[in-house]
Structure 1
Amino acid sequence: MKKSILALLLLPVFARGTEVLLERVPEGGVQPQIVATREGTLHLVYLKGAPQGGDVRYVSKKAGTSEWSTPRTINSTPGSAVAMGTIRGAQIAVGKDDSVHVVWNGPGGKNQPSPLLYSRSLNRGATFEKQRDLKSDTQGLDGGASIAASAKGEVFVVWHGAPAGAAPGEINRRVFVLKSTDNGANFSRPQIANEDDPGVCACCSLKTFVTPGGELLTLYRAARTMGQRDITLMTSTDGGASFQHRNVGPWAINMCPMSSASVVAAGAKTRAAWEAEGRIYTALLDATSGALAVSEDKSRHPALAVNAAGETLVSWSIGTGWQKGGQLAWVVLDAAGKPTTNRGVKAGVPVWGFSTAYAEGNHFVILY
Structure 2
Amino acid sequence: MNNALATIVACALLAGCQQVPRPETTTDAAGNTLTQWPVPAAAGSAQPDLSLAPDGRLLLSWIKPYDKSRHALQYTTFDRQGPWQWTPKTIAVGASMVVNWADTPHVAATADGTIWAHWLQKTRGEDGGAAYDVIVTHSVDDGLTWSAPVRAHDDGKAVEHGFVSFWPAARDRLGMAWLDGRNTGGAHAAHAAHDGGNGTAEGAGMMSLRAATIDTASRIADAVEVDPSVCDCCGTDVAVTARGPLLVYRDRTDNEIRDIHATRLEGDAWRASRVVHADGWKIAACPVNGPAVAAAGDNAVVAWYSAAGDMPKVQLAYSVDAGDTFAAPVQVDAGEAVQGRVDVALDAKQAWVAWLREDAAGQSLWLARYAPDLSRELSRTQVAKLQGRGRATGFPKLAVRDGEAFLVWTDVAAGVPQLHGMRIAPPR
Local SS of the residue matching 1:96: coil
1:256 is displaced (CA, Å) by 0.7
Residue of structure 2 in register with 1:88 after alignment: 103
Matches within 5 A, 1:23-42: 23=37, 25=39, 26-28=41-43, 29-42=45-58
Tell me how far apart the structure 1 counterparts of residues 387 and 406 of structure 2 sit (CA, whole Å). 15
Is 1:179 matched up with 2:196? no
Residues 162-221 of structure 1, C-alpha deviations (whole Å, 9 max, x = no match): 3368585285221111223x3462102742122xxx32111212123333x251221111
Matches within 5 A, 1:322-341: 326-337=363-374, 338-341=376-379
Tell me how far apart the structure 2 counterparts of residues 122 and 163 of structure 1 sit (CA, whole Å). 32
Contact (CA 8 Å) 1:300, 1:316: kept in 2 or not?
Answer: yes
Q: Which residue of 131, 146, 162 maps to 1:128?
A: 146
Tell me how far apart the structure 2 counterparts of residues 52 and 292 of structure 1 sit (CA, whole Å). 46
Contact (CA 8 Å) 1:143, 1:202: kept in 2 or not?
Answer: no
Residue range with higher mean Cα deviation, 159-168 or 199-208 = 159-168
Is 1:144 matched up with 2:163? yes
Letter in 1 for 2:353: V
Is 1:208 matched up with 2:247? no
Residue range with higher mean Cα deviation, 219-228 or 21-30 = 21-30
Is 1:243 matched up with 2:278? no
Residue of structure 2 in register with 1:272 after alignment: 302
Residue range with higher mean Cα deviation, 170-179 or 273-282 = 170-179
Is 1:290 matched up with 2:359? no
Residue range with higher mean Cα deviation, 55-64 or 66-75 = 66-75
Q: Which segments of 5 or more consecutive residues in structure 2 lack a partner in the other structure? A: 1-13, 190-199, 410-428
Q: Which residue of 262, 275, 285 maps to 1:255?
A: 285
Is 1:310 matched up with 2:349? yes
Residue of structure 2 in register with 1:192 after alignment: 225
Letter in 1 for 2:37: E
Letter in 1 for 2:75: Y
Moved over 6 A (4+): 50-53
Residue range with higher mean Cα deviation, 52-61 or 64-73 = 52-61
Q: Which residue of 96, 110, 114 maps to 1:99?
A: 114
Q: Which has the larger radius of gyration?
A: 2
1:265 is displaced (CA, Å) by 2.4
1:229 is displaced (CA, Å) by 0.9
Closer, same or farther in 2 for the Cα pair 1:52/1:296, shift >3 Å?
A: farther
Tell me how far apart the structure 1 counterparts of residues 254 and 287 of structure 2 sit (CA, whole Å). 15
Local SS of the residue matching 1:192: strand
- Greater share of residues in strand: 2
Letter in 2 for 1:366: L
**Identity, % of aligned pairs?**
18
Is 1:300 matched up with 2:337? no
Residue of structure 2 in register with 1:117 after alignment: 135
Tell me how far apart the structure 1 counterparts of residues 22 and 102 of structure 2 sit (CA, whole Å). 30
Closer, same or farther in 2 for the Cα pair 1:146/1:359, shift >3 Å?
A: closer
Residues 238-264 of structure 1, C-alpha deviations (whole Å, 9 max, x = no match): 14x343201114322222101132222
Q: Which segments of 5 or more consecutive residues in structure 1 lack a partner in the other structure? A: none
Residue of structure 1 in register with 2:246 after alignment: 217
Local SS of the residue matching 1:358: strand
1:49 is displaced (CA, Å) by 2.6
Contact (CA 8 Å) 2:398, 2:407: kept in 1 or not?
Answer: yes
Query: TM-score under structure 2 normalisation?
Result: 0.73
Tell me how far apart the structure 2 counterparts of residues 18 and 54 of structure 1 sit (CA, whole Å). 37
Closer, same or farther in 2 for the Cα pair 1:220/1:336, shift >3 Å?
A: closer
Tell me how far apart the structure 1 counterparts of residues 246 and 21 of structure 2 sit (CA, whole Å). 37
Contact (CA 8 Å) 1:96, 1:183: kept in 2 or not?
Answer: no
Query: TM-score under structure 1 normalisation?
Result: 0.84
Local SS of the residue matching 2:218: coil
